[in-house]
Amino acid sequence: MIRHVRTAARTLLAAGLLVTGALVGAPPTSAAAAAPTTLPASDYTLTADYHQFDALDSALVSTLGTSAVHTVMEHANHDRQALPSSFSVAGLSTGFRFDDGDNSDCQSVPQGITTSRDAVGTADSGNYDGHQLVLVSWYTKDGCDGAQQRSRITLVDWDATYPNAYRKVLLVEPTGTTAAPDFKDIPIHAGGVSWYGDYLYVADTGRGMRVFDLRKILNTSTGGTSDQIGRQSDGAYYAHNYAYVLPQVGTVTARTTSTDKLVWSSVSLDRVSKSIVMAEYTCQSGCTDYPNRPPRAVRFPFASGATTFAATTTAGQALQLPWYNLNGVASHNGRWWFNSSGQKKLYYWTPTAGPATFAWVSGGESISYWEDATGPDLLWSLQETTGGRNVFAVTQSTYGGG
């Protein structure tokens, strides 16, 4: 996430590691650190509505038709690149970089990451609709230094069976009427994303999460102009020249009895506890757009046996954290990881083993835990920095996971 508090640091480092994408190469070492403290979990609840747009979504599906994920990937039209030789980070297992256009695009910025291993686990080698996928959320501004304008996802094939390619899909909110269904852009930061079953949960900073169903990818015309969105006077549907849009199906809204509402900066799926964890981006001081206070991390369990939340859900765990500038969170089997972009640190913590601190990357964003039945489990992450957008996986055991 691009933060005002980091502007000066980015300027000072513009000619160095941030732009080139080179990372800390020395092995990480544990260091003493303050530990998270427990907060009352009952102070935090979610309300979920998965039927908010049912009528409009049905009308859009009837009007435009849908494409399965497999079909979308058959039409993947961007080539991912190998990681540059300058890239190094302890425990590196694999990774890629976006094509030159996306790597250098100052208007669109990658943020969240999830994979088909989140969606389906290790069954069938983690394939969803026949593909093993890495999914990244992005926000787009109306200029290099402009306001947030829209958001999208990128579906990246991560399977030797298919080409090293990816496809962009625009996120939209249904509008209009059932007789004349329409859609509009979703101008959110999309700072985190989690994929569970068919559902995609995208962080909406001040509200909670927006919910999407990957069985409902809509077909749109790639004609028109790049600024056209939704239904046109002639009945055509455009989406900034995107061929595919993913309409929102519902909303998960966060509530708290605390004075400070939750800031949904990043999210991640924990398949072991069948929950989503979220973390806040806050600052010790100096932030203008984000709170200047200790951040929190909260775990919300899914309904029993489901990939959806109940109508009302109470948090299963809540923590106050001693670390700041957190852009990423992951949890698995009682273990937690937190990425601080401002400090270039990855913090690891369990209630029994306590905290540890590891050197991490510049411009680091979200984290996703990758379960592997035949090899080591991994942590996937990415960098947002223009010109150095590396997407990479490291062995989780290198960072305290054991």
Residue 174's pLDDT is 99
Q: What is the C-alpha separation between 59 and 123, in angstroms, rounded?
A: 34
At 336, list the tokens: 């937690």
Residue 12's pLDDT is 32
Residue 19's pLDDT is 32
- Tens-digit pLDDT profile for the chain (402 aa)? 654 333 333 333 333 333 333 444 444 454 455 999 999 999 999 999 999 999 999 999 999 999 999 999 999 999 999 999 999 999 999 999 999 999 999 999 999 999 999 999 999 999 999 999 999 999 999 999 999 999 999 999 998 889 999 999 999 999 999 999 999 999 999 999 999 999 999 999 999 999 999 999 999 999 899 999 999 999 999 999 999 999 999 999 999 999 999 999 999 999 999 999 999 999 999 999 899 999 999 999 999 999 999 999 999 999 999 999 999 999 999 999 999 988 999 999 999 999 999 999 999 999 999 999 999 999 999 999 999 999 999 999 999 987
Question: Burial, 340: exposed, middle or buried (Cβ in 10 Å; 0-12, 13-18, 19+)?
Answer: buried
At 29, list the tokens: 């070492």
Q: What is the C-alpha separation between 136 and 129, in angstroms, rounded?
A: 18
What is the pTM assigned to this prediction? 0.93
Residue 129's pLDDT is 98
Q: What is the C-alpha separation between 385 and 301, in angstroms, rounded?
A: 33
Q: 331: helix, coil or strand?
A: strand
